[in-house]
Amino acid sequence: MTDLRAQLLAAFDIEHREHLEAIRAVLALAAKDASVDFKDAFRRAHSLKGAARAVDLPAVEDVANRLEAILARLSEGTLAVDPPLLKGLHLGLDAVERYVADLAGSPLIAPGVTETLDLLAQGLAAPNPQTPPVQASASPAPAVAYLRVATEQVEDLLRQMHDWNSDLLGVEAVGAGFVSIDRQVRALRRDWDRLAVKPRAADGRGADALRDFDRQLKDLFRGLGALSRDYRRAAWVLGNTSRRLQKGVAEIALVPVSSVYGEFGRMVRDMARDQGVDVAVITEGFDLQVDRQVLQKLKDPTLHLLRNAVGHGGEAAEVRRAKGKPAELTITLAFASKGGRLEVMVRDDGPGPDLARIQTTAVERGLLPAPTRSAPRLSADQLLSIVFAPGFSTAIAVDRLSGRGMGLSVVAEAVRALHGSVILRAGTPFGAEAVVSVPLQASRQTILSVDAGGLTYAIPTHGVERLLRLPVSAIENADGRSAVRIQIAGNDVMVPIMGMASLLGAANAAVPVEGDTIKAVLLRRGERRCALAVDGFHDVHQALIGEAHAVGIDRDIVSGAIIEGGEPALVLDPDALVRRWMRSDAGRMAGSLGLLPRQEADELAPTVLVVDDSITTRTLQKSILEAQGYRVLLSVDGAEALQLLRSGTVMIDLVVADVEMPRMDGFSLLQAVKNDAGLATIPFILMTSRESPEDVRRGLDLGADAYLTKQKFDQRDLLATIGRLL
């Protein structure tokens, strides 16, 4: 089975259960009240049919089609609700559930089910079919099997794997000593061969003794050599097995973001409603697989950032319209995986950070000195870094969202505990963005080992942009600060350079120079960069990061500890290192020192918005389009898609939409898009199972650029149509 089909079947397994449960809930109500509305049940049957087609399960599609016909008549009122009809509908639902559950075996829809549903659709009495034993048929591709495992068991297994890897590092250290002894014995053997020549010729008895000793030494040498080879081979195999096992165990703990944050959209809408703010919530990347522990530990910080976005992003509708914004506030919660890190972004299109107010509040709370005419103006990123200081808050009143003096420091503290970083920046063209970056796994990171001031430190590589070897002659003076000119993204950027030991507090620590060369680590925080000179670099490798417990540790800089060669090494937070440099040079640094202006990419991949209430169909279309290089956004219905289109937060190049969807169907979405002057030019493809000539004509009359039917779905037709329209 291909990976894509396995993914689609896994998605279908979840989706079909949701549809069956929803239809059964409606039938339960209908058993008590015949006047119940069957529209949702009809839509569910329609979605089940489309999803079954996407994963190529014609038997399920056939039953769903018959269920849809019956529910359509019930919705229209042309069919009466009675016990035989409800029993027949449950029979069809049970058949689907039984078929999907037995995909790994020999599934077969029991004879009589489809005939019964046909009779019910015609309003005739349904027979009472007997379900025969499942008959053997051609073996289909095996389905993916799933096992429910308690999260505590997975987390305990992960902890044991971490301990195993630590023990393995100790074994490797012993092995290194063993190999060293092997080398020493080899050297001893060579020395012995040279020394033994003369004694052998001079004394017969001595020669016999030397021959015995020589034989024993050779036996020792052969045994030690064989043992050393066996050890190296076993250690290599053990290391490979350990890495595979570590990867496999870690993947067990991965869950989709939606499993933890699925309710956050509703929570934000509830918060906004309490504040009298109209809000549209956009979620992205909710299908990303992430360590559950990381997601759980980020829940409170993320919710705090969302509260902050609602509390500080609200504006009167007339004010927003005057600025060219939609009347309602748009808040985006996006998850992405970048360079082995999880990036969480909370963005709003409100007024954006009030830098003057931030500076005033910081001065009032003693976080900044009072400004003077001679003092240089602080840059935006310097001011925005202050909002994460303990006790900083610009809220005036105390309410459910803000004003308790805690501010964003609780976010920074929680993110630091995960060995991560958080920044706040102004949005483009307006609003604010808070970006959290943490490891995808709770305690394992890729680190770079460096020497500075006679000590060894570890720096997570996510904050290291590059390693530098600079001639001393390259050092320049910029506003009283040593700096070096570096080419970054085609631009000359003046980057400050200082000794890491000096930044960490070592008195009178100069920039270390080796010959005529300076070794430095280029760190980045947001768009700000600085270079820290070090005594030397070591290797880059994966390490288990633990808590650092010692007196005198600067916890603003130190994010954890590891054991390197039996000795502890402090893990430094690269984000905090840049932040400390910004604070230390706040009074004399140039505003552009180490700063590369944000640049938008000249060419971006076309963005396609897929609108479909079926998770299986969305998964299929997303896989097809991303494989062709398109950027894909997803919406579950027309209302959510229209909010996204009108928000202006992302440029949509083309829309592919289903017709049958809750809240707003595809026809209504198409009509709303074509009636909006700002959206009317976006190419729009309807892709639906509704293939009647009347539906096709209606879609094209409303302005659809293409009308594709799922019954004849061929990904080549979809890709060719998109290629033609773009």
CATH of the domain at 574: 2.40.50.180
- pLDDT at residue 221 in the model: 73
- How does 573-595 read in b/e, with b if 16+ C-beta sit within 10 Å? bbbbbbbbbbeebbeebbeebbb
- pLDDT at residue 348 in the model: 92
- pLDDT at residue 714 in the model: 75
| 35 and 100 share one domain | yes
> Smallest Cα–Cα separation from 287: which of 649, 11, 662, 56?
11
| 405 and 284 share one domain | yes
What is the tens place of the pLDDT at every residue in 52-62?
A: 887 888 888 88
Average pLDDT value for residue range 127-148? 44
| 105 and 183 share one domain | no
What is the tens place of the pLDDT at every residue in 253-309?
A: 678 888 888 778 878 887 888 888 888 888 888 888 888 888 888 998 999 999 989
- pLDDT at residue 305 in the model: 92
Per-residue 3-state assignment (H helix, E strand, C coil) for 102-168: CCCCCCCCCCCHHHHHHHHHCCCCCCCCCCCCCCCCCCCCCCCCCCCCCHHHHHHHHHHHHHHHHHH
What is the tens place of the pLDDT at every residue in 563-620?
A: 655 567 788 888 888 888 877 765 444 456 776 654 443 345 788 999 998 888 888 8
Asked if the structure places residue 143 within a domain, the reply is no
For the chain, give the number of residues: 726
Candidate ranges 6-20, 377-391, 620-634; pick with highest mean pLDDT: 620-634
Dihedral sign for Cα 72, 76, 82, 83, please: positive
Asked if the structure places residue 612 within a domain, the reply is yes
| 628 and 718 share one domain | yes
| 357 and 390 share one domain | yes
What is the tens place of the pLDDT at every residue in 2-50?
A: 666 777 787 788 788 888 888 988 888 888 887 888 888 888 888 888 8
- pLDDT at residue 654 in the model: 93
Quick check: 611 and 617 in contact, CB under 8 A?
Answer: no
The fraction of the chain above a pLDDT of 90, given in percent, is 8
Which residues are within 8 A (CB) of 665 and not within 5 positions of it... i.e. 6 or more apart? 638, 659
* Average per-residue pLDDT for the chain: 77
Give the residue, 112 or 426, on which the prediction is more confident: 426
Give the residue, 623 or 209, on which the prediction is more confident: 623
CATH of the domain at 633: 3.40.50.2300
Q: Alpha-carbon distance 276 to 442, whole Å?
A: 38
Confidence of residue 557 (pLDDT cuts 50, 70, 90): confident
- pLDDT at residue 3 in the model: 65
Q: Alpha-carbon distance 317 to 277, whole Å?
A: 9
Confidence of residue 465 (pLDDT cuts 50, 70, 90): confident
Asked if the structure places residue 646 within a domain, the reply is yes
What is the tens place of the pLDDT at every residue in 302-344?
A: 999 999 899 888 888 888 888 888 888 999 999 998 766 889 9
Average pLDDT value for residue range 206-216? 69
| 455 and 575 share one domain | yes
Confidence of residue 436 (pLDDT cuts 50, 70, 90): very high
SS3 label, residue 513: coil
| 413 and 366 share one domain | yes
- pLDDT at residue 603 in the model: 44
- pLDDT at residue 605 in the model: 74
What is the tens place of the pLDDT at every residue in 81-94?
A: 888 888 888 888 88
| 287 and 236 share one domain | no
- pLDDT at residue 211 in the model: 72
Q: Alpha-carbon distance 642 to 690, whole Å?
A: 22
Dihedral sign for Cα 395, 397, 403, 405, please: positive
Q: How many CB atoms lie within 10 A of CB 296?
A: 13
| 177 and 285 share one domain | no
> Smallest Cα–Cα separation from 611: which of 558, 535, 673, 551?
673
CATH of the domain at 298: 3.30.565.10
Confidence of residue 518 (pLDDT cuts 50, 70, 90): very high
Judged against a pLDDT cut of 70, whether residue 539 lies above it is answered with yes
- pLDDT at residue 237 in the model: 72
| CA 545 to the chain's CA centroid | 20
Q: Token digits for 508?
A: 């009178």
- pLDDT at residue 203 in the model: 55
Pairing type for strands 654-657 and 684-688 reads: parallel
Q: Which helix (H) or strand (E) holds 73?
A: helix 58-76
Average pLDDT value for residue range 454-479? 86
Asked if the structure places residue 709 within a domain, the reply is yes
Per-residue 3-state assignment (H helix, E strand, C coil) for 443-471: CEEEEEEEEECCEEEEEEHHHEEEEEEEE
- pLDDT at residue 669 in the model: 93
Confidence of residue 393 (pLDDT cuts 50, 70, 90): low
Average pLDDT value for residue range 627-633? 86
What is the tens place of the pLDDT at every residue in 640-672?
A: 888 888 876 677 889 999 998 888 899 999 999
- pLDDT at residue 657 in the model: 93
Confidence of residue 413 (pLDDT cuts 50, 70, 90): confident
Give the count of domains, the chain. 5
- pLDDT at residue 567 in the model: 63
Distances (CA, A) of 127 to 87, 120, 130, 180, 229: 11, 10, 9, 84, 76
CATH of the domain at 38: 1.20.120.160
Asked if the structure places residue 594 within a domain, the reply is no
| 543 and 498 share one domain | yes
| 231 and 260 share one domain | no
Asked if the structure places residue 136 within a domain, the reply is no
Confidence of residue 522 (pLDDT cuts 50, 70, 90): very high
Q: Token digits for 212?
A: 């015995």
Asked if the structure places residue 141 within a domain, the reply is no
From 380, 412, 439, the end of a domain falls on: 439
Give the residue, 13 or 230, on which the prediction is more confident: 13
| 169 and 193 share one domain | yes
- pLDDT at residue 87 in the model: 80
From 199, 234, 252, the end of a domain falls on: 252
Confidence of residue 126 (pLDDT cuts 50, 70, 90): low
Asked if the structure places residue 140 within a domain, the reply is no
Q: Token digits for 388?
A: 């994460």
- pLDDT at residue 110 in the model: 64
SS3 label, residue 268: helix
Q: Alpha-carbon distance 38 to 63, whole Å?
A: 18
Residues of the domain holding 168? 151-252
Judged against a pLDDT cut of 60, whether residue 97 lies above it is answered with yes
Q: Alpha-carbon distance 57 to 76, whole Å?
A: 28
What is the identity of the amino acid at 219?
Answer: D
Judged against a pLDDT cut of 70, whether residue 135 lies above it is answered with no
Which residues are within 8 A (CB) of 266 and not within 5 positions of it... i.e. 6 or more apart? none
- pLDDT at residue 139 in the model: 41
From 121, 138, 164, the end of a domain falls on: 121
